[in-house]
Structure 1
Amino acid sequence: MKIILTQEVSGLGAPGDIVEVKDGFGRNYLLPQGFAIAWTKGAEKQVTVIKRARSAREIRDLDHANEVKGQLEGLKVNLKARAGDGGRLFGSVTSAEIVDAVKGAGGPVLDRRRLEVPGHIKSTGTYPVKIKLHPEVTASFNLNVVQG
Protein backbone atom coordinates (compact mmCIF):
# COMPACT_ATOMS: atom_id res chain seq x y z
CA MET A 1 0.00 0.00 0.00
CA LYS A 2 1.35 3.40 -0.98
CA ILE A 3 0.80 6.25 1.50
CA ILE A 4 1.93 9.82 2.11
CA LEU A 5 3.12 10.58 5.64
CA THR A 6 1.63 13.66 7.31
CA GLN A 7 3.71 13.35 10.50
CA GLU A 8 7.09 11.92 11.36
CA VAL A 9 6.91 8.17 12.02
CA SER A 10 9.96 6.67 13.67
CA GLY A 11 11.70 4.21 11.37
CA LEU A 12 9.48 5.05 8.41
CA GLY A 13 9.98 8.64 7.30
CA ALA A 14 9.23 12.32 7.63
CA PRO A 15 6.13 14.34 6.70
CA GLY A 16 5.62 14.49 2.95
CA ASP A 17 7.45 11.23 2.23
CA ILE A 18 5.74 8.71 -0.02
CA VAL A 19 6.33 5.23 1.38
CA GLU A 20 5.21 1.68 0.70
CA VAL A 21 3.89 -0.19 3.77
CA LYS A 22 2.00 -3.41 4.39
CA ASP A 23 -1.75 -3.05 3.92
CA GLY A 24 -2.68 -3.81 7.54
CA PHE A 25 -0.17 -1.35 9.01
CA GLY A 26 -1.41 1.43 6.78
CA ARG A 27 -5.13 0.68 7.07
CA ASN A 28 -5.25 -0.15 10.79
CA TYR A 29 -2.66 2.20 12.29
CA LEU A 30 -1.25 4.97 10.09
CA LEU A 31 -4.46 6.17 8.45
CA PRO A 32 -6.78 6.11 11.54
CA GLN A 33 -4.14 7.81 13.74
CA GLY A 34 -3.74 10.60 11.17
CA PHE A 35 -0.06 9.81 10.56
CA ALA A 36 -0.65 9.34 6.83
CA ILE A 37 -3.08 9.81 3.96
CA ALA A 38 -3.73 7.41 1.11
CA TRP A 39 -1.65 8.01 -1.99
CA THR A 40 -3.40 9.43 -5.05
CA LYS A 41 -2.21 11.69 -7.84
CA GLY A 42 -4.08 14.61 -6.26
CA ALA A 43 -2.68 13.87 -2.82
CA GLU A 44 0.83 13.76 -4.26
CA LYS A 45 0.42 17.43 -5.20
CA GLN A 46 -0.21 18.17 -1.49
CA VAL A 47 3.24 16.79 -0.71
CA THR A 48 4.82 20.08 -1.79
CA VAL A 49 2.60 21.98 0.67
CA ILE A 50 3.49 19.59 3.50
CA LYS A 51 7.22 19.81 2.73
CA ARG A 52 7.10 23.62 2.58
CA ALA A 53 5.46 23.79 6.03
CA ARG A 54 8.02 21.33 7.42
CA SER A 55 10.97 23.31 6.09
CA ALA A 56 9.67 26.47 7.79
CA ARG A 57 9.82 24.93 11.28
CA GLU A 58 12.70 22.53 10.75
CA ILE A 59 16.17 23.14 12.02
CA ARG A 60 18.11 24.54 9.10
CA ASP A 61 21.26 22.42 8.96
CA LEU A 62 23.59 20.15 10.87
CA ASP A 63 25.55 23.01 12.46
CA HIS A 64 22.37 24.63 13.77
CA ALA A 65 21.21 21.25 15.14
CA ASN A 66 24.51 20.79 16.99
CA GLU A 67 24.23 24.33 18.40
CA VAL A 68 20.71 23.61 19.72
CA LYS A 69 21.93 20.26 21.11
CA GLY A 70 24.64 22.11 23.09
CA GLN A 71 22.01 24.47 24.52
CA LEU A 72 19.72 21.63 25.54
CA GLU A 73 22.31 19.38 27.16
CA GLY A 74 23.49 22.13 29.49
CA LEU A 75 19.96 23.01 30.56
CA LYS A 76 18.23 22.23 33.87
CA VAL A 77 14.54 21.76 33.09
CA ASN A 78 12.08 21.79 35.99
CA LEU A 79 8.38 21.17 35.50
CA LYS A 80 5.86 21.89 38.23
CA ALA A 81 2.86 19.60 38.23
CA ARG A 82 -0.02 19.01 40.62
CA ALA A 83 0.65 15.92 42.68
CA GLY A 84 -0.91 14.13 45.63
CA ASP A 85 0.66 12.30 48.53
CA GLY A 86 3.62 10.16 47.59
CA GLY A 87 4.44 12.23 44.50
CA ARG A 88 1.76 10.72 42.26
CA LEU A 89 0.58 13.24 39.64
CA PHE A 90 -3.02 14.13 38.87
CA GLY A 91 -2.90 13.07 35.22
CA SER A 92 0.37 12.85 33.32
CA VAL A 93 2.95 15.18 31.81
CA THR A 94 2.34 15.97 28.13
CA SER A 95 4.90 16.75 25.46
CA ALA A 96 3.48 20.28 25.13
CA GLU A 97 4.16 20.88 28.85
CA ILE A 98 7.74 19.64 28.39
CA VAL A 99 8.28 22.02 25.46
CA ASP A 100 6.91 24.92 27.54
CA ALA A 101 9.19 23.97 30.46
CA VAL A 102 12.24 23.96 28.16
CA LYS A 103 11.25 27.37 26.79
CA GLY A 104 10.70 28.67 30.35
CA ALA A 105 14.15 27.43 31.40
CA GLY A 106 15.74 29.56 28.69
CA GLY A 107 16.04 26.85 26.08
CA PRO A 108 15.15 26.93 22.38
CA VAL A 109 11.64 26.52 21.00
CA LEU A 110 11.14 22.83 20.16
CA ASP A 111 8.65 20.82 18.12
CA ARG A 112 6.65 18.67 20.54
CA ARG A 113 6.17 15.93 17.94
CA ARG A 114 9.91 15.19 17.91
CA LEU A 115 10.14 14.46 21.64
CA GLU A 116 10.80 10.91 22.79
CA VAL A 117 9.51 10.51 26.34
CA PRO A 118 10.05 7.24 28.25
CA GLY A 119 6.43 6.13 28.66
CA HIS A 120 3.88 8.17 30.57
CA ILE A 121 5.25 10.44 33.28
CA LYS A 122 2.82 9.99 36.19
CA SER A 123 4.95 10.73 39.25
CA THR A 124 7.52 13.26 40.44
CA GLY A 125 11.18 12.59 39.78
CA THR A 126 13.84 12.95 37.11
CA TYR A 127 13.24 11.53 33.62
CA PRO A 128 15.53 11.35 30.57
CA VAL A 129 13.98 12.99 27.51
CA LYS A 130 15.34 12.77 23.95
CA ILE A 131 14.53 14.97 20.99
CA LYS A 132 15.41 14.33 17.38
CA LEU A 133 16.67 17.69 16.12
CA HIS A 134 18.00 16.50 12.76
CA PRO A 135 18.20 13.09 11.08
CA GLU A 136 21.79 12.84 12.36
CA VAL A 137 21.47 14.71 15.68
CA THR A 138 19.58 13.59 18.79
CA ALA A 139 19.82 15.63 21.98
CA SER A 140 18.94 14.46 25.47
CA PHE A 141 18.25 16.28 28.71
CA ASN A 142 16.86 15.46 32.13
CA LEU A 143 13.38 16.62 33.03
CA ASN A 144 12.84 17.15 36.75
CA VAL A 145 9.14 16.88 37.63
CA VAL A 146 8.41 18.52 40.98
CA GLN A 147 5.26 18.96 43.01
CA GLY A 148 3.86 22.42 42.49
Structure 2
Amino acid sequence: MKVILKEDVKALGKKGKVCEVSDGYARNFLIPRGLAVEATQGNVQDLVHKQKQEELRKQKEKQAALDLSQRIENMDIIVKVKVGEKGRLFGSVTNKEIAEVLEKEYQLKLDKRKIEVKEPIKGLGEYQVTVKLHFEVTANLKIKIEAQ
Protein backbone atom coordinates (compact mmCIF):
# COMPACT_ATOMS: atom_id res chain seq x y z
CA MET A 1 0.00 0.00 0.00
CA LYS A 2 1.27 3.48 -0.82
CA VAL A 3 1.09 6.09 1.92
CA ILE A 4 2.03 9.76 2.27
CA LEU A 5 3.92 10.53 5.46
CA LYS A 6 2.42 13.33 7.57
CA GLU A 7 5.39 13.35 9.96
CA ASP A 8 8.97 12.08 9.93
CA VAL A 9 9.09 8.31 10.53
CA LYS A 10 12.48 6.90 11.46
CA ALA A 11 12.47 3.78 9.26
CA LEU A 12 10.58 5.26 6.29
CA GLY A 13 11.50 8.87 5.61
CA LYS A 14 10.64 12.52 6.02
CA LYS A 15 7.31 14.33 6.03
CA GLY A 16 5.69 14.51 2.58
CA LYS A 17 7.39 11.43 1.13
CA VAL A 18 5.31 8.79 -0.68
CA CYS A 19 6.29 5.31 0.57
CA GLU A 20 5.33 1.74 -0.24
CA VAL A 21 4.58 -0.20 2.96
CA SER A 22 2.75 -3.39 3.84
CA ASP A 23 -1.03 -3.13 4.26
CA GLY A 24 -0.94 -4.20 7.93
CA TYR A 25 1.77 -1.69 8.86
CA ALA A 26 -0.19 1.12 7.22
CA ARG A 27 -3.64 0.19 8.58
CA ASN A 28 -2.58 -0.86 12.08
CA PHE A 29 0.25 1.53 12.89
CA LEU A 30 0.82 4.51 10.57
CA ILE A 31 -2.73 5.65 9.78
CA PRO A 32 -4.25 5.25 13.30
CA ARG A 33 -1.38 7.20 14.87
CA GLY A 34 -1.73 10.01 12.32
CA LEU A 35 1.74 9.44 10.90
CA ALA A 36 0.50 8.82 7.34
CA VAL A 37 -2.50 8.89 5.02
CA GLU A 38 -3.31 6.61 2.13
CA ALA A 39 -1.83 7.83 -1.16
CA THR A 40 -5.04 8.28 -3.14
CA GLN A 41 -5.07 10.49 -6.22
CA GLY A 42 -6.68 13.34 -4.29
CA ASN A 43 -4.19 13.13 -1.43
CA VAL A 44 -1.25 13.11 -3.85
CA GLN A 45 -2.61 16.20 -5.63
CA ASP A 46 -3.09 17.87 -2.24
CA LEU A 47 0.54 17.07 -1.35
CA VAL A 48 1.82 18.54 -4.63
CA HIS A 49 -0.25 21.69 -4.08
CA LYS A 50 1.09 22.11 -0.51
CA GLN A 51 4.67 21.64 -1.70
CA LYS A 52 4.21 24.34 -4.37
CA GLN A 53 2.72 26.72 -1.79
CA GLU A 54 5.63 26.07 0.58
CA GLU A 55 8.13 26.71 -2.22
CA LEU A 56 6.43 30.01 -3.09
CA ARG A 57 6.48 31.06 0.57
CA LYS A 58 10.21 30.30 0.82
CA GLN A 59 10.91 32.31 -2.35
CA LYS A 60 8.95 35.30 -0.99
CA GLU A 61 10.85 35.10 2.32
CA LYS A 62 14.18 35.02 0.51
CA GLN A 63 13.21 37.92 -1.76
CA ALA A 64 12.10 40.00 1.24
CA ALA A 65 15.44 39.24 2.92
CA LEU A 66 17.32 40.29 -0.23
CA ASP A 67 15.38 43.57 -0.39
CA LEU A 68 16.10 44.25 3.28
CA SER A 69 19.76 43.38 2.68
CA GLN A 70 19.98 46.05 -0.05
CA ARG A 71 18.38 48.58 2.28
CA ILE A 72 20.76 47.72 5.14
CA GLU A 73 23.87 47.82 2.93
CA ASN A 74 23.13 51.48 2.08
CA MET A 75 22.61 52.58 5.68
CA ASP A 76 25.13 54.35 7.90
CA ILE A 77 24.09 53.91 11.52
CA ILE A 78 25.29 56.44 14.09
CA VAL A 79 25.40 55.26 17.70
CA LYS A 80 26.01 57.94 20.35
CA VAL A 81 27.66 56.72 23.54
CA LYS A 82 29.25 58.12 26.69
CA VAL A 83 33.01 58.41 26.41
CA GLY A 84 35.73 58.64 29.02
CA GLU A 85 39.32 59.82 28.65
CA LYS A 86 41.24 59.07 25.44
CA GLY A 87 38.05 58.16 23.55
CA ARG A 88 37.41 54.96 25.50
CA LEU A 89 33.81 53.88 25.98
CA PHE A 90 32.19 52.99 29.27
CA GLY A 91 31.60 49.33 28.52
CA SER A 92 31.06 48.38 24.88
CA VAL A 93 28.47 48.72 22.14
CA THR A 94 26.43 45.51 21.90
CA ASN A 95 24.12 44.03 19.30
CA LYS A 96 21.18 44.96 21.55
CA GLU A 97 22.08 48.66 21.41
CA ILE A 98 22.50 48.46 17.62
CA ALA A 99 19.05 46.82 17.27
CA GLU A 100 17.51 49.55 19.45
CA VAL A 101 19.04 52.32 17.29
CA LEU A 102 17.80 50.60 14.13
CA GLU A 103 14.28 50.41 15.52
CA LYS A 104 14.23 53.92 16.97
CA GLU A 105 15.91 55.87 14.15
CA TYR A 106 15.10 53.80 11.05
CA GLN A 107 11.88 51.96 12.05
CA LEU A 108 13.63 48.70 11.20
CA LYS A 109 12.81 45.95 13.70
CA LEU A 110 15.56 43.33 13.76
CA ASP A 111 16.14 40.63 16.32
CA LYS A 112 19.34 41.32 18.27
CA ARG A 113 20.43 37.71 17.77
CA LYS A 114 20.62 38.27 14.01
CA ILE A 115 23.23 41.02 14.46
CA GLU A 116 26.76 39.60 14.80
CA VAL A 117 29.43 41.77 16.38
CA LYS A 118 32.70 39.90 15.81
CA GLU A 119 34.84 41.70 18.43
CA PRO A 120 33.57 44.01 21.17
CA ILE A 121 33.24 47.64 20.10
CA LYS A 122 35.12 49.60 22.76
CA GLY A 123 36.27 52.72 20.94
CA LEU A 124 35.08 55.54 18.72
CA GLY A 125 35.19 55.13 14.95
CA GLU A 126 33.62 53.13 12.17
CA TYR A 127 32.88 49.44 12.41
CA GLN A 128 31.20 46.82 10.28
CA VAL A 129 28.84 44.18 11.66
CA THR A 130 27.11 41.30 9.92
CA VAL A 131 23.34 40.91 9.92
CA LYS A 132 21.89 37.46 9.17
CA LEU A 133 18.51 38.01 7.53
CA HIS A 134 17.91 34.54 6.09
CA PHE A 135 19.94 31.35 6.13
CA GLU A 136 21.21 32.26 2.62
CA VAL A 137 21.24 36.08 2.93
CA THR A 138 23.55 38.25 5.03
CA ALA A 139 24.22 41.98 4.97
CA ASN A 140 27.06 44.18 6.18
CA LEU A 141 25.99 47.13 8.30
CA LYS A 142 28.27 50.17 8.72
CA ILE A 143 28.21 51.64 12.22
CA LYS A 144 29.78 54.88 13.32
CA ILE A 145 30.39 55.27 17.05
CA GLU A 146 30.33 58.90 18.21
CA ALA A 147 30.58 60.65 21.57
CA GLN A 148 27.44 62.19 23.09
Bin the TM-score by the shorter chain. 0.5 to 0.7
Paired residues of 1:118 and 1:127 also in contact (CA < 8 A):
no
- Structure 1: which 5+ residue stretches go unaligned? 1-59
Which position in structure 2 is the counterpart of 1:62? 62
Paired residues of 1:71 and 1:107 also in contact (CA < 8 A):
no
Distance between the aligned counterparts of 2:83 and 2:94, measured in 1? Answer: 15
Count of residues paired in the alignment: 89
What is the CA-CA distance between 1:107 and the residue it aligns to? 5.1
Which position in structure 2 is the counterpart of 1:110? 110
Which consecutive aligned stretches of 4+ in structure 1 deviate over 4 angstroms post-superposition?
A: none
Alignment deviations for residues 116-144 of structure 1 (CA, whole Å, 9 cap, x no partner): 11211111111101011001100111110
Which position in structure 2 is the counterpart of 1:86? 86
What is the CA-CA distance between 1:114 and the residue it aligns to? 1.3
Q: Determine helix, strand or coil for the equivalent of 1:104.
A: helix
Name the amino acid aligned to 1:67: D
What is the CA-CA distance between 1:91 and the residue it aligns to? 0.7
Paired residues of 2:94 and 2:117 also in contact (CA < 8 A):
no
Alignment deviations for residues 23-43 of structure 1 (CA, whole Å, 9 cap, x no partner): xxxxxxxxxxxxxxxxxxxxx
Name the amino acid aligned to 2:81: A
Distance between the aligned counterparts of 1:115 and 1:106, measured in 2? Answer: 16
Name the amino acid aligned to 1:137: V
- Structure 2: which 5+ residue stretches go unaligned? 1-59
TM-score (norm 2): 0.57
Name the amino acid aligned to 2:110: L
Q: Determine helix, strand or coil for the equivalent of 1:91.
A: strand
TM-score (norm 1): 0.57
Question: Aligned-residue CA RMSD in angstroms?
Answer: 1.3
What is the CA-CA distance between 1:87 and the residue it aligns to? 1.1
Percent identity, please.
35
